[in-house]
């Protein structure tokens, strides 16, 4: 999961900076979105 998160570090920074989410909440939001994408493809 860390490797995947590193691919989205720019998106995490965007979420945490511009949408005013704390970094951990931005990471959690991204994880939820990734899980939803994976389950949609099943």
- Residue 1: its pLDDT value, please? 67
Count how many Cα atoms sit within 13 Å of the Cα of residue 15 in the half-sphere of its side chain.
17
| Tens of pLDDT, residues 1-42 | 678 778 878 877 887 788 777 878 878 888 888 888 888 877
How long, in residues, is the chain?
42
Full domain range(s) for residue 24: 2-40
Q: What is the largest CA-CA distance in the chain?
A: 33
- What is the DSSP track for 1-41? -HHHHHHTHHHHHHHHHHS---HHHHHHHHHHHHHHHHHHT
Count of structural domains within the chain: 1
């Amino acid at each position: 999961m860390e490797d995947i998160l590193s691919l989205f570090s720019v998106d995490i920074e965007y979420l945490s900076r511009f949408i005013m989410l704390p970094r951990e909440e931005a990471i959690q939001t991204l994880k939820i979105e990734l899980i939803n994408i994976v389950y949609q493809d099943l």
